[in-house]
Amino acid sequence: MNALIIYYSLSGNTAQAAKYVAKGMESENAVVTTMNVNKAQIEDLNNKDIVVFGTPNHAGSPAMLLRKFLNSLSDTALAGKKVSTFATFLFWKGDVLTTIEEIAQDKGATNIVPGYARRTSFLLNLWSVITGTTEDEEAWIAFGKQIATS
């Protein structure tokens, strides 16, 4: 199965999450391409069985560039594809996952794997490095496996 993860990341937290989600999907034999939304083209969705959208929470909403990309898709662009979403947040996750899932439905998605949001920040990442904990990595990888096997 061919998968595409399109994400927006300003601080690098969402990009790191995308790498871990891809790692989980790849462990289930998916061929995964990760791509920053700044470089994504509508044609990149061609021949993809799974499409995943990742974003930080911007005041309860997806990042504007990701939302703009989603809104540029045709009404059937996600038809026949498994679709999911994930979000990183500092204080609260808001409705960011629901917003993306609703837009995906408007773009033809019917097979939506429920999204996942996780608190992250530079300090939390630094603490993980200092303590050697892999809890965040393991959680994102597990979500990637869930997408691939749902």
Query: How high is the pLDDT of residue 59?
Result: 75
CATH number assigned to the domain with residue range 2-149, chosen from the 4 options 3.40.50.360, 3.40.50.2000, 3.30.70.1560, 1.20.810.10: 3.40.50.360
Q: Is the pTM of this model over 0.75?
A: yes
Q: Please identify every stretch of the chain with a pLDDT value under 70, giving residue numbers as ranges.
A: 91-93, 121-135
Q: Where are the domains of the chain?
A: 2-149
Query: How high is the pLDDT of residue 79?
Result: 96
Helix axes 13-26, 122-131, angle to 10 degrees: 60
Closest CA to 141 of 10, 11, 32: 32
Query: How high is the pLDDT of residue 12?
Result: 86
Dihedrals φ, ψ of 33, to 5°? -115, 130
